Structure 1
């Protein structure tokens, strides 16, 4: 009796006081009214239906009711219960089956009464039910478990089974009673809820923005993107914390968490603190929501750090364009001006609005020179740029010269979307360039006049000088009789030497004039450099000997023949050797080297002395005509400063290169390098020019 009472009280209490979700799997639900009705039936139904004797207590009557199969079978109350109810004896045979169980299972009472589980259900399920029932009979008490059962049609049902043992008056277990709750629909709904929740989580996880839910600033939930923005890896590390902990202190007052504004939708930008100490710029879209009767704010947080950086770059570029010293103008492909910078307004006198009004009124675009629209657009289509220098008018009518450069901005399809113009006022520059051209022309005219004058004067001076030199030579040799006085001989020697010196000077002037006037004509021919060196040194040897100087020759025995102007090459060597002789002290050394150059594969001539040398910063100066680094030394050595200048230009006229090296007090070195192209090939028949 006590077990039956316990079962009835349990079902009633279960329906009234107990949260069924604690007994059922997650997501399942059972209408508590049916459990209460079942409890009333089990606990009281038999009380009224079963006849009682004076000796029988209410508990004994309940056991008699539960034990009497015929009473349950004929009871309208049992059949009225919507929940399937059944009883079994100790052998597992059905003794009571109500109408709800017949309907739910598809089996009739006659098919169930007296049958065991193995007679009704498939063997695996029957084995489970039999094991559960044995445990109930052995241990007693209420047992609740989930079990999959099958209707007669084979349809599967997920059920919750509530079972308890039934005892006789002596306390012996005589069987068990059970109640079946179909939770198939509830379980399906729970599964759908779980799937929906999982889909929601997946969507939140895949959202590009961070999503955070909070109450008055206290974080309740957030998605992985939000965690990544602050450098954390789990919800546990943020849930329960105040949102302001992730905002710099100086910005916390601008975050809408409480107050009237909390009921409004807000869009604002702020900064979040990353776990590594860096800052993340974000845009927040926040709105109030109500969940389960409580107010929350849901914030969608977008990382705009890159956008903020790009905006800074754009602002920097805008200021660079706006404050550019050149005028900048941007138009569409129809010539409609969209932007002009400050410099354009100052230079032209037009504002952006005035430019647009001018286009609307006249159809003429101030971006382009008048009448050249087709030319400009054709160039932009082909090359992507266009350049011009032209005269244009300001708003006040004043004309000026401007240099314009146009370029294009292409759209995603590679077509021209905009045209950018860069305009500079070059009026003063044009005037300066014109002045320079005028000055250049005057200088060229003066140079030509000078060269022509020197050439004419050289020819005019050569004739009397040749006469002076020739007659002084005849008199000095006393061909027509003795002079009779030694003093006359001394004077004649001076006249002869001075005439030769003056003739050399005139020859240098004539050569320089020809070179500068472009009238120097060279006659390339095969030249034997070994013989050329011997000829040049033979002329200078007497002077070197008189100065007690040493001349060292280092000439390659297999020196190739070169194609060059023989007279020019001899003049080059004479100038370099003469220069070395004049500027090397007595007892000094002059070295002449002539060999193949391993770098250019040509021929290199080097004249080196150990004289006083020239400061390195003045080397370029001494290559200029008439340049004298030390005028006192030059006067002592009777020089005009033309030798190196003529030598340099003669070398270049033959396709070679000339360079000099020197340090003050370290001597002087001159290099003449003839390229490989000047060498005469082995297959070419040559007769080298020989100096007589």
Structure 2
């Protein structure tokens, strides 16, 4: 039972009451509702919802019982399942004081529900709804039952079933055996325990039968006798076959019985006069014939049917019995016949190829014995057509061969291990992996293939796995293990295990792979990655140091160029030199900015950067970046539009880094916009208390294939790689690094020929 809803505080002892309401004949699993002493629903199961087509989100627990009943009645009425909601409510939802009055039946065109109320000792009651089959289905079942009853009446007196312990669990229409006990008194007894048996339970007669049952074999015409009324002896004949569930586990026997007292008496009276007929007719459900000196003197109709003749008289016209069998079989059969006539041993049961009248071949099983026929020695043959069985065996053999071939060519080691940890299958992959031949390992314990230090833990885990509910998963446990080769060498392995229950016993299937090379490759990969990381750190440290070394002389050059260009110590004398000094100053500033960006990237990659966080005015920083870049935009006839609300909150960030992010993004937008273009800058709060900042342009755009490339240092989009004076490809990588340090998301949406929009999203915990 799947529990759908259970109110807090309920004592789970109420399941004892629920257990009384198992599904009955003609019903599916019961729908159950438990109502407490306060009149409110405390529990309902999934089946109750299914019966009434309730949606999963609709809660029943906590509802008043009366209100729930009325709501459900209205619900099924709206769905068209019932016509009269009131009648449905009154019938299917009895009150607590109606407990014990038995089940009520509600019928409509769409459903038939049986409702019953049972009291709970602690207060409250259990309501059970059972869905019965629809009328058409019931009519079909009744028709099947009538046909079954007719067949039973024609061929048997009663039908019986036993459990796995051979105790009766059902006896139907016991015409013969009811003469001493009622039907219900059979239940729980074994056949040899039923009072009145002529033979005691310990007699060999019963012991042989019990051994047949223990071997799970079908049996036919098992006869026994019981003393019945007036001390008379009644004889019975029983047919039975074992029954197995879907998992292959034995669950009992099922069969029929006949009262054959009259037959036993008849057999006794006609034993002598009818001996010849009895010898021939024995096994008459199959083909039967008698031949004397190779000539057929008797054949039953079934024999003619098996061999393709219109009637059995045609068989009597054959010159020799050998005409019924394949040419290659005839010498063997003649040898058997001669041996029987001479009193020498000859097989009584064997398979051979027979020839039908149309010349086609079939496989038959022949049971032969020597009898007397009209004073002469003869051979009686009982023929079974086993063509289909042989075909099935051939198909099975081919399937087994294919499976064996698959196991042999599989590169993995595959083993099957029984409950005693003994190896039953050891394929070629396992032989190659462990170095043992198959015959060396079959029957050996699997622990032989692992180091001693792991064997105790392995046995414990196998026992836990066997007890677990995981039964039929193809691969249900994976993990790295250590294998032990024949030469004593250990190796890392990866194994999978599954279990399957066959004939009541677990079979564990294990697949093993040697992962030595994989482990070695992983170790090499880790070492290579660590070496690459070390090289990258060394590169970053080198660039950092070089940037420091370059900045000192560069600052001096910029300073001297500024002094000369401004003629701080008097006229230079040549105007051209002044222009040169100003060019040196501009170029130096550009180079210094580049070095600063390289230095920032190097510090981040070297892991030495620190955030100096403070409350930063985003609007002010955006305004400052725009003022810095606006002169350049005007020179190139580009418009910068800013839409930032006055009440934009501050954010917790490193002011220098945030300012650099804005400068880099706006600088890129100005750089890659066409002359006369427009740059749009916006900022504002988003859902979830985050802040979004956007920089958009109507420039050349970025191709999709360049989206990852543009975030690599010194890389640029192919659309602008050929343009002059378009930067060194450090702006976006540096902006991304600074954003990552602040956990600020940076996304780019770009279309070639339309423009690019860069969106920054500041997390809510940084918005003040």
* TM-score, length of structure 1 as denominator length: 0.52
Q: CA deviation at 1:542?
A: 0.9
Alpha-carbon contact 1:379-1:385 (below 8 Å) kept: no
Choose the corresponding residue for 1:376, options 455, 458, 469: 458
| Per-residue deviation, 1:296 | 7.9
Residue 410 of structure 2 aligns with which residue? 324
Decide whether the 8 Å contact of 1:404 with 1:421 is kept in 2: no
Equivalents in 1 of 2:512, 2:239: separation in Å? 62
**1:575 is aligned to 2:657:** no
1:350-390, CA deviations, whole angstroms, 9 ceiling, x for partnerless residues?
21223359x6xxx9944213432123334445578463355
Change (3 A) 1:607 1:394: farther
Cα distance in structure 2, aligned partners of 1:652 and 1:595: 20
Gaps of 5+ in 1: 1-191, 206-210, 223-239, 243-251, 270-282, 681-692
Which residue in 2 is equivalent to 1:409? 499
Task: Pick from 362, 367, 384 the counterpart of residue 449 of structure 2.
Answer: 367
1:573-594, CA deviations, whole angstroms, 9 ceiling, x for partnerless residues?
Answer: 1111111222222212222232
Corresponding position: 1:336 with 2:425:
no
1:657-681 CA deviation, whole Å, 9 max, x = no partner? 222233433322322222333322x
Q: Quick check: which one's helix share is greater?
A: 1
| CA deviations over 1:549-576 (Å, ceiling 9, x no partner) | 1222233555443333322222111111
Quick check: 1:607–1:669 contact (8 Å CA) kept in 2? yes
Q: Is the 8 A contact 1:380 1:408 kept in 2?
A: no
1:555 to 644, 650, 654: 644
**SS state at 1:542 partner:** helix
Provide the C-alpha distance between the structure 2 equivalents of 1:569 and 1:253, rounded to a whole number of angstroms.
100
- Conserved? CA contact 2:484–2:491, under 8 Å: yes
Residue in 2 that maps onto 1:44: none
Structure 1 equivalent of residue 479 of structure 2: 387
User: Aligned pair in 2 of structure 1 residues 303, 516: CA closer, same or farther (>3 Å)?
Assistant: farther
The structural deviation recorded for 1:620 is 1.0
Q: Which ranges in structure 2 are unaligned for 5 or more consecutive residues?
A: 1-232, 241-254, 259-283, 289-298, 313-323, 338-347, 354-362, 375-379, 466-475
Q: Deviations over 1:267-314 (max 9, x none)?
A: 899xxxxxxxxxxxxx99897999xx9998688999999999999987
1:202-246 residue CA offsets vs partner (Å, 9 max, x unmatched): 9499xxxxx9666779569x9xxxxxxxxxxxxxxxxx999xxxx
Contact kept, 8 Å, 1:536 with 1:573, in 2: the verdict is: yes
Partner residue in 1 for 2:186: none
Q: Which residue of 2 aligns with 1:603?
A: 691
Structure 2 CA distance, aligned partners of 1:454 and 1:268? 92
Alpha-carbon distance between aligned partners in 1 of 2:717 and 2:300, rounded to the nearest angstrom:
87
Partner SS for 1:458? helix
Distance 1:330 1:453 in 2: 60
CA distance 1:556–1:479, shift in 2 (3 Å): same
Q: What residue in structure 2 maps to residue 511 of structure 1?
A: 600
Give the Cα separation in 2 of the matches to 1:618 and 1:504.
Answer: 25
Change (3 A) 1:549 1:212: farther
- Evaluate the alpha carbon distance shift between residue 420 and residue 300 of structure 1 in structure 2; reply closer, same or farther with a 3 A threshold: closer
SS at match of 2:699: coil
The 1:328/1:391 distance shift into structure 2, 3 A limit, reads: closer
Q: Find 2:653's aligned residue among 557, 564, 579.
A: 564
Q: Distance in 2 between matches of 1:325 and 1:560?
A: 65
Q: Deviations over 1:131-159 (max 9, x none)?
A: xxxxxxxxxxxxxxxxxxxxxxxxxxxxx
Tell me whether 1:347 sits opposite 2:433 in the alignment.
yes
Q: What is the distance in 1 between the residues matched to 2:418 and 2:393?
A: 26
Alignment partner of 1:637: what SS?
A: coil
Aligned pair partner of 1:526 in 586, 593, 615 = 615
Aligned residues: 439
**Partners of 2:517 and 2:526 in 1: how far apart?**
14
* Alignment counterpart, residue 669 of structure 1, candidates 729, 732, 757: 757
1:67-100 deviations in Å (ceiling 9; x for gaps): xxxxxxxxxxxxxxxxxxxxxxxxxxxxxxxxxx
What do residues 304-326 of structure 1 show as CA deviations (whole Å, max 9, x unaligned)?
99999999987766554443221
The answer to whether the 8 A contact 1:284-1:302 is kept is no
**What are the residue-to-residue correspondences of 1:448-467 with 2, within 5 Å?**
448-467=537-556
Residue 492 of structure 1: how far off its partner (Å): 1.7
Quick check: 2:365–2:383 contact (8 Å CA) kept in 1? Answer: no
After TM superposition, give the deviation of residue 434 of structure 1 in Å: 3.0
Task: Label 1:266 to 1:462 Cα distance change in 2 as closer, same or farther (>3 A).
Answer: same
In the TM superposition, residue 433 of structure 1 has moved relative to its aligned partner by 2.6
| Cα offset, 1:545, TM superposition | 0.9
Q: Is the 8 Å Cα contact of residues 698 and 756 (structure 2) preserved in structure 1?
A: yes
Q: Which residue of 2 aligns with 1:121?
A: none
Q: Cα distance, 1:450 vs. partner?
A: 0.9
- Three-state SS of the structure 1 residue aligned to 2:611 is coil
Distance 1:593 1:265, change over 3 A: farther
Higher relative contact order (CA 8 A, sep 6+): 1
Contact persistence 1:288–1:295 (CA under 8 A): yes
Residue 123 of structure 2: aligned partner: none
Matched ranges for 1:27-106 at <5 A:
none
Q: Distance in 2 between matches of 1:432 and 1:299?
A: 62
Q: Is the 8 A contact 1:527 1:563 kept in 2?
A: yes
- Which residue does 2:675 correspond to in 1? 586
The equivalent residue for 2:281 is: none
Q: Of the two, which has the highest radius of gyration?
A: 1
Distance change >3 Å, CA 364–CA 495, structure 1 → 2: same
Per the alignment, residue 744 of structure 2 pairs with 656
Q: What is the CA RMSD across the aligned residues, in angstroms? A: 5.1
Conservation of the 8 A alpha-carbon contact between 2:449 and 2:483: no
Distance (whole Å) between structure 2 residues aligned to residue 217 and residue 483 of structure 1 = 138
The answer to whether the Cα contact below 8 Å between 1:580 and 1:609 also exists between their aligned partners in 2 is yes
**Contact 1:613/1:663, CA 8 A, preserved across alignment:** yes
Cα distance, 1:335 vs. partner? Answer: 4.7
Distance 1:421 1:589 in 2: 68
Q: 1:333 to 1:460 in 2, by over 3 A?
A: farther
2:566 alignment partner in structure 1: 477
